Structure 1
Amino acid sequence: MDNFRTPTARGHKRTAVSIDVTVNGVLNFVDGRITDLSEGGARIGGASMPARSRCEIHYGGQVTYAVVMWSEYDRMGVRFPYELAHGALYNALKIARDASMVEPAQIFHSNRPTMFGRRGLS
C-alpha cells in the first residue's frame, strides 16, 4: 500500500485582496500585506517568519492569531487556528468577495434585433 498523501481540496475559497497589516512575532513587529485571504488562512507578502511559529496579525484595531505554515524570503502563508467568523479581517474578506461578485458592465449590449449590415439585410 502506498503511503502517498492525496491532495485534498481546501475547505475555504481563497480571495485576492490587498490589506496592509502588522504581524507580531515573538521578537518583532513586521509590516506586510495580505494578498490572499480565506476564513482558514492568508498569504502575507513583505513579511517572513519561521515555519511553525505563532504570530498575531494586527488589522483594524483587532488581533487575529495565526500559525506560519510556510515561509519564503519575502512572503509567508499562515493558517488561522480559529476560522474567521467576525471582526475587522473577516469584514474585509466579505467586502472583497462582494466586490468580486459584481459583474462588469455590458457596455455594448443593446436591445436591437440582430441584423446584417447598416440596412438590416438578412
Structure 2
Amino acid sequence: MMTSSTPQSPRQHMRTNVSIDVVVNGVLNMVEGRITDLSEGGARIEGGVILPVRSRCEIHYAGQTVYAVVMWAEVDRMGVRFPYELTDGPLYNALDRARGAWPSEPAQVFRSMRPTTFGRRGLN
C-alpha cells in the first residue's frame, strides 16, 4: 500500500525573534501577552493569552490593531496568522528594527569577528 504525503512548503516570510508586549483581545477577554516570534504573516504569542484554535482575535500594540486567527495553541503560547500581511504601522516598524539589529547573512557576523592577528604575532 502506497501513501502520498504533501511536502511542507517553505515559509513565505522570514520569522524574527522579538520581545514585544501586546494586548490580545479575544471574544470574551482582553489579556496581556508577549510576541516572541514575528513575521509579516504571523506571530507566536506567549504568556497568559491562550485562545482556541481557529478563533479570531485582535492584537493591540502602540495604538495599532492587527487582526489574527489562531492556528495552534499550547499551554503557555499560541501561533497566529495575520489575514492581512504587516506592511506598515508600529508592529511592522518593531519587526523592521529587530531585523536591522543583526546582519542579514550569518557569514557577515563571522567576518566582523575575524581576528586581525594570528597567534602571538600580528599579520604585518
Given the two structures, how large is their TM-score scaled by the length of structure 1? 0.84
Match of 1:88 in 2: 90
Match of 1:59 in 2: 61
Match of 1:98 in 2: 100
Shift of 1:9: 0.1
Cα distance change of structure 1 residues 32 and 2 upon mapping to structure 2, 3 Å threshold: same
Computing the radius of gyration from Cα coordinates, the structure with the larger value is 1
Q: Whole-Å Cα distance in 2 between the matches of residues 77 and 15 of structure 1?
A: 14
Write the mapping of 1:62-77 to structure 2, written as runs, cut at 5 A: 62-77=64-79
Determine which structure has the larger strand proportion and give its number: 2
Shift of 1:109: 3.6
Cα distance change of structure 1 residues 3 and 117 upon mapping to structure 2, 3 Å threshold: closer
Q: Secondary structure at the match of 1:100?
A: coil
Match of 2:36 in 1: 35
- Alpha-carbon RMSD across the aligned residues, in angstroms, is 2.2
Q: Whole-Å Cα distance in 2 between the matches of residues 60 and 86 of structure 1?
A: 13
Show structure 2 runs of 5+ residues with no match.
none
Q: Percent identity?
A: 62
Show structure 1 runs of 5+ residues with no match.
none
Given the two structures, how large is their TM-score scaled by the length of structure 2? 0.83
Cα distance change of structure 1 residues 27 and 117 upon mapping to structure 2, 3 Å threshold: closer
Match of 1:24 in 2: 25
Letter in 1 for 2:26: G
